[in-house]
Amino acid sequence: MSDYQATNASSSGVRLDKKTLKALSRRSDRPGLRWLATWAALLTGSGTLVYLSLATWWIVPAMLLHGTLLAVPAYSLSHECAHGTAFRTRRLNEVFFWLSSLIYIEEPTHRRYAHARHHTYTWIKGKDAQMSFHTPLTAWSWFMEISTFGHLIYEARLLTRNALGAFDDEVIEFTPASELAKLKWGARAFLAIYGGLAAYVIVTGAMWPLVYIVVPRLVGGPIMQVFTITQHAELEEDQPSILRSTRSFRSGPIGRFVYMNMNNHMEHHLYPMTPFHALPTLATALQEQVPEPDPSVVRINAEVLSIAVRRSLGLDTTARHIRQADGYAGREPMPAPAE
């Protein structure tokens, strides 16, 4: 048995009694189906606004709204399904894992294994498979992250390599050998679906895939990144405590809905068995043991951008409103927590 302690509640010195955890982890299809129905209704509404505003300047806000409502929840659902916690029924979970991952643009087998790795080695350099941007963030790495160019370039390369069976060393390290064929065929299926859609648009001249899916996904991508960058940016690397590597933030109902309560990201990493609908209750149960959530997603992003720019200019990078690793704020890093 290995001595490595995965990054989670016990590596962070957080405790919750078994009965409470079991009650919070209980699965149900109903909250997930209700969330899906609401998402479908919102997308129908925003898609209608796009349709009504075609060939007018109103297309800009309509597209921004539709893109946000397409991209952010697709990320959130794909993530929740990667954990298998969106629905109690496994098949429902897997079907929506595929569909949402197609919109998010990450092949599901890779997403699941890379994300498992991220939970085992949260924010540990060279080990965490989802440390997408270079740390600490500079203005350039911030741009690559927020624009989604970083994600798109990474995925184009990864899908191609996986489809060819030319797996990166990192992929081989975290994917069991028996799953590599699934990874290869999953990547081929993804490329075939994206290629098929492109061929359909070119051959038939149909514009609807571009207007209602492709362009909105690209427009909504940066908003999606605005949410995901909050999770670990400016926090501490290479140590075992989730309390120091991961951030939660306060959010209103719209943010909580599109992000499936992942504003409670610290609590999610502490107890990843907890389904999205129980995360607010988990956060309340743990509030005495964890740092205060940071302010809103907007405030975090404004400050992260300001720090990234200041860092690129060689200026003081101390955060004023958000949590920040001591090393990044010019303070001596805290010692690692005792085992």
Partner 1 sequence: MTLSMADGWHRVCRADEIDDEDVVRFDLGARTFAVYNTPSGFFATDGLCTHEEQHLADGLVIDDIIECPLHQGRFHIPTGQAKSAPVCEHLATYPVQVTDGVVYMHIADD
DSSP track, 252-285? -HHHHHHTTTTT-HHHHHH-TTS-GGGHHHHHHH
Residue 8 interacts with partner 1 (CB under 8 A)? yes
- Find out whether 311 and 137 touch, Cβ atoms under 8 Å: yes
Locate 291 and state its tokens. 């740092």
Alpha-carbon gap, residue 324 to 339, rounded angstroms: 23
Nearest to 75, CA basis, from 105, 47, 46, 108: 105
Candidates 92, 99, 120, 312; binder of partner 1 (CB under 8 A) is 120
Residue 27 interacts with partner 1 (CB under 8 A)? yes
- Find out whether 104 and 75 touch, Cβ atoms under 8 Å: yes
Residue 179 interacts with partner 1 (CB under 8 A)? yes
Candidates 15, 30, 90, 321; binder of partner 1 (CB under 8 A) is 90
- Find out whether 238 and 127 touch, Cβ atoms under 8 Å: no
Nearest approach, Cβ of 225 to partner 1 (angstroms)? 24
Alpha-carbon gap, residue 85 to 73, rounded angstroms: 15
> For the window 236-275, what string marks contact with partner 1 as x by the rule CB under 8 A?
-----------------------------------xxx--
Alpha-carbon gap, residue 26 to 124, rounded angstroms: 30
Residue 110 interacts with partner 1 (CB under 8 A)? no
Nearer to partner 1, 15 or 331 (CB): 15
Q: Identify residues 195-234 at the interface with partner 1 (CB under 8 A).
A: none
Residue 89 interacts with partner 1 (CB under 8 A)? no
Residue 281 interacts with partner 1 (CB under 8 A)? no
Query: What residues line the site for partner 1 (CB under 8 A)?
Result: 1-2, 6, 8, 22, 25, 27, 83-85, 88, 90, 109, 112-113, 115-116, 119-120, 176, 178-179, 271-273
